[in-house]
Amino acid sequence: MPDPVVPPTPPVPLTALLAREDLALRQIAGPSAEGVVVHWVHTSEMADPYPYLLGGELLLSAGVHIPEAAGSGTAYFDDYVARIVAAGGAALGFGVAPVHDTVPHALAAACAAHGLPLLEVPPRTTFSGVARAVWQLMARARLAELRRVSEAQQSLAAAASRPDPVPSVLRQLAQRLGGWAVLYGPEGAEIAEAGRPPGDEMRGALTRLAEVVRPADDRRERPAPASATDTVADTHLASYTLSAGHGFVLGVATPQRAPGDHTVASVGAVLLSLLTGEQQTGSGAARSSALVRLLLGAPPEEVSSLLGDGPWIIVHARPEGDVAPDAVAASALGAALGSALVDPAGDVVRVLVPADRAPAAPPPGWTLGVSAAVAPPDWPAADTQAARALARARATRAPLLRHRARPALADLVPPGEATAHARALLAPVTARPALTETLRTWLSLHGSWDRTAVALSVHRNTVRQRIARCATLLETDLDDPDVRMELWFALRHI
């Protein structure tokens, strides 16, 4: 029997169809329905359905194709069922009425002989009703699979943020897959494992499977695949290469293959790739050292050499749809921007990126604000630049905006005098950060209520109320362009 060319949809157990009381299907011949799955439904009255089957179908027929000369003879039915089996059909459903009052005995005998489950479809059950039931069961299975994968992604991301990330991810992976997860090092040794370990035979089989995907110098002509699978004694084995060029491999052994297992294991492989990549290259230790020194009072310029050559830019990013990014999405963004220095703080992800890797366009689904290239002592100022660039990008619906610095008349005023003037002028509102930021954003967007509301993620009436409050506290007319210019100058120096 050829392998069925099945669609990428969850299969439906034949027993689930038989359990539907509204269908009242009854198996009358063939092997047990246990373990038989249906990938789709096809109705045909062709005497030879083979050319029209892809495999995995529940074939439905009312017997219109059966010639009167067939009678109770077995030759016609034997050829008919043999062709269905050769095409990879999963089961045959025979509709009782309007053509036949009962299922032909010769058809039942042929199905029993060829090992094809035969179902009786009662007169009150339409073929379209059977098809609809299959699609409903597929939809439920797909929803359950998506929910399982989503929950696994969240738990794996949380495990990756623990103090012991590699063992934690392996434990979660083994728990979610109901099996055993192991991390092999570059030399093939087991570095860490979690779950119930298999026997020595299975362990050896998984070790050999890990070698199939391990990168090696002598595979230039035929590169190792990213993953490989095998089944040994009803146990499903899978291996995934990690951290390209570093030689780490993830191995998984599960007692059975469930929908979504590959997706869950792939998420674990991505997280372990990030973690093992840091261990192998030492970048993770360097970042930890830089963080400790900063916490102990070292100036940024002293520790920046541990992170790489400068200058640096800071990127502020928000995903489309105002959905708070999770740890996996933030890490993926950092990888796309070429930096592991990622801070997923609330609704905004901040990324510290070497200036020579400045993004030319945002990754799909993200809006970016990019600062000017600065030295480490100016990181705080660059962080403010990126935040303002992101606010303008969201307000104008631009995918990416950069901070642009250019000489201006304001540069002619000594910084000390400009700061003193700004503090005195804005003193009535600086005690209220929401008012100050609203005024700054509103002025930068030329007094647009709607765009300011979008940039600040508030209602436009809130913007109006805040601006009116600013005008009252400052005792000035904000419709006067000279006033707006002076306030904008002052806001740049506080």
Domains defined for the chain, CATH in brackets: 12-136 (3.40.1390.20), 161-281 (3.30.450.30), 308-402 (3.30.70), 409-491 (1.10.10.2840)
Burial of 245-260, coded b for 16+ CB within 10 Å and e otherwise, reads ebbbbbbbbbeeeebb
Over residues 81-120, the pLDDT tens digits come to 999 999 999 999 999 988 999 999 999 999 999 999 999 9
Phi, psi of 477 (to 5 degrees): -100, 110
| Ramachandran angles phi, psi of 474, nearest 5° | -85, -10
pLDDT the model gives residue 462: 93
The pLDDT of residue 1: 44
Q: Collapsing DSSP states into helix, strand and coil, what is residue 195?
A: strand
In which residue ranges of the chain is pLDDT below 50?
1-2, 218-222, 245, 279-282
pLDDT of residue 164: 74
Residues facing residue 366 across a β-bridge:
319
* Entry field: residues in the chain: 494
Q: What is the pLDDT of residue 411?
A: 58
For residue 419, the tally of other CB atoms under 10 A from its CB is 15
- The type of residue at 4 is P
Q: How far apart are the first and last CA of the chain?
A: 77
**How far apart (Å, rounded) are the C-alpha atoms in residues 183 and 294?**
33
The dihedral sign for the CA sequence 361, 367, 373, 377: negative
Strands 366-370 and 400-402, how do they pair? Answer: parallel
Per-residue pLDDT reduced to its tens digit, 175-205: 999 999 998 887 788 888 899 888 888 888 8
pLDDT digits (tens, 9 = 90+) for 414-446: 777 878 888 888 999 988 999 999 999 999 888
Which helix (H) or strand (E) is 344 found in, with range?
A: strand 342-345
Q: Rounded to whole angstroms, how far apart are CA atoms 354 and 368?
A: 16
pLDDT of the residue at 161 = 79
